[in-house]
Structure 1
C-alpha cells in the first residue's frame, strides 16, 4: 500500500501539471486534441468530443497535444484558435500554466495538511538521547558503559536542559576535553546512573567519544486555531521549500560533478514516498508539495523538451519578430526529448538496481 500511495502521488502531480496546460488552453478557446499521462504506446484511452485522453506505457511525465501540425486534423490551418496562430502572450500563458499549476498545488497541499492534522513540532525533554554507540573496542563511550537508548542529563556538572541547544552544549563539553575524564549523569530505563567518559582526541585534536546524538523528546502535532493561521503558516513553509529547492538546483548546476549522483528518478521518488507513507502518511502532503515544487522548477529551466525551452523559443520570436524556422525548432525539441527520455531510463535502471530487494537478489 505505501508504494501505491507514492505512485499515486507522483501520478497526481503529473496530472496537475498537464491539467494546467490543458485548462489554460481550453479557457482561451484554443484547440487541444490530446491529454496524455506518460509516453510511448497507449495502454488506455478515451475519445472525447475534441480531445483524446490516454494513459501510456512509460510514466516519465505527460503531455498535452495540439492539432496544429496533426496531418489527420480537419481544422483549417488558418483557424485563429490553433495554438500557433495565437499571440505570443496567449501561447506563453499555455506553456507556463503547468509550472504555475504545480506551484499553486504545492501550497494547497501544505495548507490542507496544516488544516487537517496541524503543524508538526518537536517537544523537547531534558537531556540528549544516544541512539547508537560505535561498536569499535576503542570507543570511549563503549569503555565508559554508555548504551544505545541512554539519555545524558548532566555532562561535567552542566545540566542539558530541554531545548535544541542541548546537543551543541554536550558536543562542546566533549570536544573541549580530550583525554580528560568527564562525569556524566545518565537516565537508563527510568533509573539515573553515574558514568565517566574520557574523550579521545581526533585528527583535529578535538575530543570524540563514538556516539550518535539526537534530541530527547518526541514529535507532536499542534492543531492550528483558525484559517488565517493555517494560510500564513503554509505560506512560511512554502517559502522554505521553494528556497531550499532552488538552492539545491543551484548547487547541482554549479557543482554537477559531485552532486550528480543525488539526482533522483521516478523509482527513487516512489521509494522515498513509500517510506514516508509507511512511517507517517500525513507527511505525504509535504512530500507531494516538495516534489511538485521540484517539477515546477525543473520544467521552467530553458532546456529543450521542457516548458522553459518552449518559452525560450517564444522569447526569441518576440525579439526577432518572427519564429525560428520550424525545422530548427523541431530538431532541437526532438533531440531534447530523446535526451530527456534517455536520462529518465538511466535513472530508472540505476535506482532500481540500488533498491534493497534487488541488491539482495544480486548477492
Structure 2
C-alpha cells in the first residue's frame, strides 16, 4: 500500500502540472487537441469535443498537445486561437502555468499536512528514514527510524546545520570507526559505524537523512497558512541550493540524481514510517518538478520560455526547423536519461 500511495502522489503531481498548461490555454481560448499523462502508446483514451484525453504506457511525464503541431489538423493556419498566433505574453502564460501549478500544489499540500497532522517542530539530531542494504550503517545494526543525536560525543545541532556537519564528518572518515549516539523507540543506544570508502575516497555509511521532526497541534487555520508559507519558502530555498550544488559540482553529485523508481522507493519508505509525511513528500517532489521544468533546457518549459524570450527580442521567432531540431534533440536526451534512471534504479532497488 505504501508503494501505491507514493505512485499516486507522483501521478497527482504530473496531472496537476499538465492541468496547469491545459487550463491556462483553455481560459485564454487557445485550442488544445491532446491532454496526455505519460508517453508512448495509449492505454486509455477519450475523445472530447475538441481534445483527446489519454493515459499512456510510460509514466515519465505527460504533455498537452496543440493543433499547431498536428500536420493533419483541419484548422486554418491563420486561426487566431492557435497557440502560435497568440502574443508572446499569452504563450508564456501557457508554458509557465505548469510550474506555477506545481508550486501552488506544494504550498497547499503543506497546508493540508499542518491542518491534519500538525506543525512540524524541528529538533536537534537527524532522523534516518532509509538504510541501504549491505551498507556500513546496516552492518553496524542501525535501523530505519533511528535518530542520530551525537557523533563521537559531539551533539548534532538543528537542521540544516546538523546535516552539513554530519555529511562532512562521514566523508572525511573513510574506514575510521565513528561512535553514534542514537534514539530508538524512546531508548538511547550507542553504535559504532565504520564508513566505507567510495570511488572518490570519501566515507559513506548508506543512510538517508531528514530533519528530526516532532509534531504539535495547529492552533487554527490562520496558523496553518502562516506556518506553511514559511515551510514552503524553506523547501524552495533548500531545493534551489541543492540544484545549484548539483550543477556546480556535477561529477561528485551525479549519483544522487533519482529517477521515478527511486523516488517511489523513497516515498514508500516515508509512507511506511508515517503516512502523514506523504504530504511533505508530495510538496518536496512538486517543488523539484517545478524547478526542473523551469531550467533553460530543450524539451522543458524553461527551454520554450527561452525561445519566446529570443522571439521577443528579435521581433520574430527562430526558424521552425532550428526550433524543432533543438526540441527533438532535447526530448531524446531527456527520455534517454529517464530510461537510464529507471533501469539503474530498478537494478539497485532495495526491497520495500
Which of 249, 252, 263 aligns to 1:258? It is 252
CA deviation map 1:87-145 (0-9, x unaligned)? 00000000000000000100000001101111133688xxxxxxxxxxxxxxxxxxxxx
Partner of 1:294: 288
1:243 and 2:234 aligned: no
- Contact (CA 8 Å) 1:102, 1:292: kept in 2 or not? yes
Paired residues in the alignment total: 288
CA distance in 2, matches of 1:52, 1:148: 51
Secondary structure in 2 aligned to 1:213? Answer: strand
CA deviation map 1:307-327 (0-9, x unaligned)? 000000000000111000000
Distance apart, 1:211 and its partner CA: 2.4
Counterparts of 1:212-227 in structure 2, within 5 Å, are 212-214=180-182, 220-227=214-221
Partner of 2:314: 320
The unaligned stretches of length 5 or more in structure 2 are 125-140, 156-171, 187-211
Partner of 1:63: 63
Distance apart, 1:219 and its partner CA: 5.8
CA distance in 2, matches of 1:348, 1:48: 33
How big is the alpha-carbon RMSD for the aligned residues of Structure 1 and Structure 2? 2.5
- Contact (CA 8 Å) 1:167, 1:215: kept in 2 or not? no
- Contact (CA 8 Å) 1:36, 1:54: kept in 2 or not? yes
Partner of 2:42: 42
Partner of 2:331: 337
Distance apart, 1:169 and its partner CA: 10
Counterparts of 1:100-139 in structure 2, within 5 Å, are 100-121=100-121
Partner of 2:97: 97
Secondary structure in 2 aligned to 1:73? Answer: coil
Mark the CA change 1:148 to 1:256 in structure 2 (over 3 Å): closer, same or farther: closer
Distance apart, 1:214 and its partner CA: 3.1
CA distance in 1, matches of 2:10, 2:42: 19
Secondary structure in 1 aligned to 2:179? Answer: coil
CA distance in 1, matches of 2:224, 2:49: 41
1:354 and 2:341 aligned: no
1:268 and 2:262 aligned: yes
1:211 and 2:179 aligned: yes
CA distance in 2, matches of 1:123, 1:255: 30
Distance apart, 1:5 and its partner CA: 0.7
TM-score, structure 1 as length reference: 0.75
- Contact (CA 8 Å) 1:38, 1:58: kept in 2 or not? yes
Mark the CA change 1:357 to 1:229 in structure 2 (over 3 Å): closer, same or farther: closer
Counterparts of 1:147-166 in structure 2, within 5 Å, are none
Secondary structure in 1 aligned to 2:224? Answer: helix
Larger CA deviation: 219-228 vs 327-336: 219-228
The unaligned stretches of length 5 or more in structure 1 are 125-146, 150-163, 173-203, 359-363
Partner of 2:205: none
TM-score, structure 2 as length reference: 0.77
Distance apart, 1:59 and its partner CA: 0.9
